[in-house]
C-alpha cells in the first residue's frame, strides 16, 4: 500500500474485543524483519508481475476480438462489392468456379489439391489458382516463378507442374528445387531457362495475386472459395470445412 507516495504495511491484530489496525512504515519493517528483506523484495516483484499478467489477460482477448472483427469486415466488404469491381469472379463464360489461394510449400495446400481437382472435374467448373507464397517458406516463391514460366508455355504445363511439386513437396529443398523443375521440363520435352523472369513479368503476377489475397482478407493457405457470377446476394463463399465443399457448390448452383 502507498501512503503519501511511500509504501507502508498494515498489521491487523484481533482479540476478544475486536480488531486493531497498525500501520507500519516499510523502512521500519525492514529493520525488524532483517532476515526477510530479500523475500520482501521478491514479493514486490511478484506483485508487479501479477499485475502485468492480469493486464495481459484482459488485453489479449480484446486484441484478438478486434483482429477477428477486422478480418470479417474485409471479407464482408469484398463480397458486397458490385459485380464490376468484385475481386473474385469465375472466368468469362462460366457461372461458377472454385478459387484457391495457395503456397506450393504449404503441406495443407498439398492435402487440399486432390479434392479441388476432383470437385472441378465432377462439376465441370474451372479451378482458378492464385499464388500466395508465404514469406517464411524457403523455396515456395521460386517454385511459383517456375510455375508461371510453365504457364507461359502452356496453361496445362503450369497446372501439371504445380501438382508435380505437391507430389514431391516433402523431398524438395531450396538446393534441389531446380533439379526437380529440370526433370519435369525434360519429361515434358521442354527446357527451363537459367534466367526465368528477365522482364519481371512473372514476379508481377505473383505480386498481383498477393495484393488480391490481401484485398479479400487472406490470412492462411489454402484459402478456398466457391464463386459465382450472380449479381445479387453473396457472390462468393469461403470453404472453411473442406468436407462441405460439394455441399457449398450445390448451394451456389441453386442460387442460395
Residue 227 phi, psi (nearest 5): -120, 150
| Higher pLDDT, residue 120 or 38 | 120
Residue 70 CB: number of other CB atoms within 10 A? Answer: 10
Residue 138 to residues 42, 102, 114, 143: CA-CA distances in angstroms? Answer: 45, 15, 24, 10
Q: Residue 254: its pLDDT value, please?
A: 86
pLDDT tens for residues 114-155? Answer: 999 999 999 999 999 999 999 999 999 999 999 999 999 999
Q: Residue 232: its pLDDT value, please?
A: 72
Cα 237 from Cα 239, distance rounded (Å) = 6
Whether this model's pTM surpasses 0.85 = no
Q: Residue 3: its pLDDT value, please?
A: 46
| Higher pLDDT, residue 85 or 50 | 85
Q: Residue 115: its pLDDT value, please?
A: 98
**192-199: long-range contacts (C-beta < 8 A, 24 or more apart)?**
192/146, 192/149, 193/149, 196/145, 196/146, 196/149, 197/145, 197/148, 197/149
Residue 101 CB: number of other CB atoms within 10 A? Answer: 23
pLDDT tens for residues 180-201? Answer: 999 999 999 999 999 999 999 9
pLDDT tens for residues 42-66? Answer: 555 555 544 544 544 444 454 445 4
| Cell 515456395 -> residue | 140
Cα 12 from Cα 23, distance rounded (Å) = 9
Residue 37 pLDDT level (bands cut at 50, 70, 90) = low
Domain boundaries, the chain: 88-254
pLDDT tens for residues 196-244? Answer: 999 999 999 999 999 999 999 999 999 999 999 887 777 889 999 999 9
pLDDT tens for residues 168-177? Answer: 999 999 999 9
Question: Of the CATH numbers 2.60.40.10, 3.90.45.10, 1.10.1040.10, 3.40.30.10, which one belongs to the domain with range 88-254?
Answer: 3.40.30.10
Amino acid at each position: 500500500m502507498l501512503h503519501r507516495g511511500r509504501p507502508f504495511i498494515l498489521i491487523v491484530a484481533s482479540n476478544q474485543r475486536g480488531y486493531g489496525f497498525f500501520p507500519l512504515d516499510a523502512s521500519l519493517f525492514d529493520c525488524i524483519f532483517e532476515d526477510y528483506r530479500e523475500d520482501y523484495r521478491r514479493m514486490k516483484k511478484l506483485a508487479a508481475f501479477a499485475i502485468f499478467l492480469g493486464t495481459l489477460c484482459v488485453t489479449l482477448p480484446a486484441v484478438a476480438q478486434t483482429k477477428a472483427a477486422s478480418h470479417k469486415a474485409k471479407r464482408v466488404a469484398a463480397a458486397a462489392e458490385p459485380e464490376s469491381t468484385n475481386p473474385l469472379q469465375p472466368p468469362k463464360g462460366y457461372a461458377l468456379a472454385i478459387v484457391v489461394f495457395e503456397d506450393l510449400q504449404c503441406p495443407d495446400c498439398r492435402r487440399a489439391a486432390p479434392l479441388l481437382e476432383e470437385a472441378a472435374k465432377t462439376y465441370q467448373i474451372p479451378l482458378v489458382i492464385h499464388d500466395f507464397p508465404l514469406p517464411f517458406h524457403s523455396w515456395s516463391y521460386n517454385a511459383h516463378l517456375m510455375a508461371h514460366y510453365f504457364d507461359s508455355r502452356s496453361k496445362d504445363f503450369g497446372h501439371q507442374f504445380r501438382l508435380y511439386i505437391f507430389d514431391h513437396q516433402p523431398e524438395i529443398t531450396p538446393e534441389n528445387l531446380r533439379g526437380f523443375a529440370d526433370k519435369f521440363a525434360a519429361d515434358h520435352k521442354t527446357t527451363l531457362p537459367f534466367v526465368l523472369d528477365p522482364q519481371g513479368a512473372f514476379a508481377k503476377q505473383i505480386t498481383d495475386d498477393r495484393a488480391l489475397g490481401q484485398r479479400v482478407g487472406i490470412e492462411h493457405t489454402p484459402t478456398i472459395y466457391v464463386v459465382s457470377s450472380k449479381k445479387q446476394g453473396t457472390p462468393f463463399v469461403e470453404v472453411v470445412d473442406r468436407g462441405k465443399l460439394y455441399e457449398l457448390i450445390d448451394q451456389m448452383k441453386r442460387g442460395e
